């Protein structure tokens, strides 16, 4: 697929600020799965170094709250300003996903790229911590790193070339995520699908010059992407 929004950012910026498979392309494809109109107030949950927040604010016209536990809000704000964005368009903040400092029904939508699997594996998380922050009828879109089919009982050697069994326990297949999410009565599952850009996003990531990308190369070169995918999830708050 084409990525006009993602490609509006230079490849050097993508490589400098990515923290995993190309978040710009994952975000752009994920947004095509949903229906979030321009002007919406959107929570970018697990926003990392701000790439997805910048894309949504600049290219989609959303008012974005960029929430991340590990990134520096001041550094992210400087990046947003280089993108021509003001603090009225995107607001960076440091926040734990289980203690988000927002009023109930504050957001029109939530988008989470390459991070929901860290906190959302707890089936209570969605209903207790996230869903109340979204207005009724609002959408939640997640791009979740996953598995084509759960294989934790017999992990292929190619996966173990870069990751431990404990790290791989964060990855699950569509059936696992459906069963997890359907335990939350207030969330209507509109769509779950494998994303098309997974291999391309991984290829972009492996071109990055940092220790984390370098550490992932052994697994991918050994065939890990035969077993791994990215899962797009689209929910609506009832």
Residue ranges covered by each domain of the chain? 6-153+170-200+227-237
End-to-end CA distance of the chain: 32
State whether the Cα torsion 192-193-194-196 is positive or negative.
Answer: negative
Q: Model confidence over 160-218: pLDDT tens digits? A: 999 999 999 999 999 999 999 999 999 999 999 999 999 999 999 999 999 999 999 99
So what's the pLDDT on residue 137? 98
CA dist., res. 166 & res. 22, Å (int)? 23
CA dist., res. 124 & res. 47, Å (int)? 22
In 138-210, which ranges are continuous DSSP H helix?
157-160, 165-168, 174-181, 198-206
Total-model pTM: 0.98
Question: Is the domain defined by 6-153+170-200+227-237 classed in CATH 3.40.50.150?
Answer: yes
So what's the pLDDT on residue 70? 96
Crossing angle (nearest 10°) for helices 23-33 and 198-206: 160
CA dist., res. 158 & res. 160, Å (int)? 5
Is 65 in contact with 91 (CB distance < 8 Å)?
A: yes
Size of the chain, expressed as the number of residues it contains: 238
CA dist., res. 124 & res. 135, Å (int)? 19
Is 170 in contact with 121 (CB distance < 8 Å)?
A: yes
So what's the pLDDT on residue 1? 85
Q: Which residues does the chain have with pLDDT short of 50? A: none
């Amino acid at each position: 697929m084409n990525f006009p929004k993602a490609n509006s950012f230079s490849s050097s910026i993508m490589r400098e600020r990515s923290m995993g498979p190309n978040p710009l392309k994952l975000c752009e494809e994920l947004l095509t799965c949903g229906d979030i109109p321009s002007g919406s107030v959107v929570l970018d949950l697990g926003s990392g170094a701000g790439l997805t927040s910048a894309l949504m604010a600049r290219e989609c016209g959303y008012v974005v709250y960029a929430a991340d536990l590990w990134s520096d809000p001041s550094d992210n704000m400087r990046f947003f300003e280089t993108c021509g964005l003001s603090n009225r368009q995107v607001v960076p903040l440091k926040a734990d996903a289980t203690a988000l400092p927002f009023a109930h029904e504050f957001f029109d939508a939530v988008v989470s790229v390459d991070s929901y699997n860290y906190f959302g594996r707890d089936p209570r998380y969605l209903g207790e911590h996230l869903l109340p922050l979204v207005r009724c009828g609002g959408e939640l879109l997640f791009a979740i790193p996953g598995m084509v089919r759960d294989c934790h009982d017999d992990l292929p050697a190619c996966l173990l070339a870069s990751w431990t069994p404990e790290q791989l326990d964060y990855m699950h297949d569509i059936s696992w995520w459906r069963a997890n999410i359907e335990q939350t009565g207030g969330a209507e599952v509109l769509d779950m699908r494998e994303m098309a850009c997974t291999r391309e996003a991984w290829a972009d990531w492996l071109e990055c010059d940092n220790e984390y990308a370098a550490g992932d190369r052994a697994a991918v070169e050994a065939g890990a992407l035969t077993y791994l995918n990215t899962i797009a999830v689209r929910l609506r708050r009832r």
